[in-house]
Amino acid sequence: MENLKKAGHKFFRNKLSGVGLAVVLLIILSAIFAKYITPYPAHAGAYVDFAHSNKPPSAQFLLGTDNMGRDILTRIIFSFRGALYMAVIVLAIAVPIGVSLGILGGYLKGTIVDTLIMRITDVFLSVPALLLALAVASVLKPNLTNAMMAVTLMWWPWYTRLVYGMATSCRNENFVISAGLIGASKAHIIFKEILPNCLSAVFTKMALDVGWVILIGATLSYVGLGEQPPTPSLGQMVSDGARYLPDSWWMTVFPSIAIIIIILGFNFMGDGIGDMLSKGDGKDA
């Protein structure tokens, strides 16, 4: 219980961390209960009502409507589902791959395995991440699944590079050397001695990365390579609304604000997780 209180103090000592946590929880709950809390659930699908198209924000439509007469607020909330789903799947695949390769290369530093892993990693990192995702997605059928594949392909090397540096440092620590001297297997050293010392940095990066994965996904949708209509996605909503600027500004502005809020929310929460997992005592300087 005492450790839990200390962790909580570390997390909440920065008020923005608490704000970030509240934003993230609100987004997640909104996505889960979108069908029940949105004013016009039918507008999340192939719905058309030209009588209410391009309506500005009002009491009836709080964030206005799009060119098809669909409620912007409803579509933004439903778009959280695909955005969060993409972030979870991408990180669930990219993180284990990146961490495994990084820790293996770091522990076997100086071997052919290390050289092979890091040269492949460097090749991927040498290409701008967004450009790589766009290139991969452009040769695949445009849909959410292929967009996730493209983003996953560009994301794992960052975890490999992160964990590689930490594993390289850990392999020379006394506790790792001692484990080897008493006959511990390589698997034991990797998973019981080195990996636990990398997890705090990995968890912190994961929390920070959720918002950026969603941003990359929105970018793919913006250029037509992500989630396809009529399923709502933030990037596609921004793209559709851009054609009606500046008259129907709400079609682009509100989805853009939603993207910014998501990124800030996860970044603030990630900072709090980093503080919580740090080895300091959690007291303010």
Structural domain contains residue 112: yes
Q: Find the CATH number of the domain harbouring 148.
A: 1.10.3720.10
Structural domain contains residue 134: yes
Instruction: Render pLDDT for 216-244 as a digit per residue (tens, 0 to 9).
Output: 999 999 999 998 989 999 999 999 999 99
Phi-psi category of 282—alpha, beta or left, where left has phi over 0 and alpha has psi -120 to 50? left
| pLDDT > 90 fraction of the chain, expressed in percent and rounded | 68
pTM of the model: 0.89
Structural domain contains residue 284: no
Structural domain contains residue 174: yes
Instruction: Render pLDDT for 37-67 as a digit per residue (tens, 0 to 9).
Output: 999 999 999 899 999 999 999 999 999 999 9
Structural domain contains residue 283: no
Structural domain contains residue 272: yes
3-class secondary structure for 57-75? CCCCCCCCECCCCCEHHHH
Instruction: Render pLDDT for 124-140 as a digit per residue (tens, 0 to 9).
Output: 999 888 888 888 888 88
Instruction: Render pLDDT for 178-220 as a digit per residue (tens, 0 to 9).
Output: 887 888 888 888 888 889 889 889 999 999 999 999 999 999 9
Residues paired with residue 71 on neighbouring β-strands, in sequence order: 65
Structural domain contains residue 282: no
Domain containing 230 equals 2-277
* Total of domains in the chain: 1
| pLDDT > 70 fraction of the chain, expressed in percent and rounded | 97
How far apart CA 212 and CA 185 sit, in angstroms, is 38
Quick one: which H or E segment has residue 209?
helix 199-222
Mean pLDDT of the chain: 91
Structural domain contains residue 270: yes
How far apart CA 215 and CA 66 sit, in angstroms, is 22
Token pair for 195: 């990996």
Specify the pLDDT at position 280.
Answer: 58
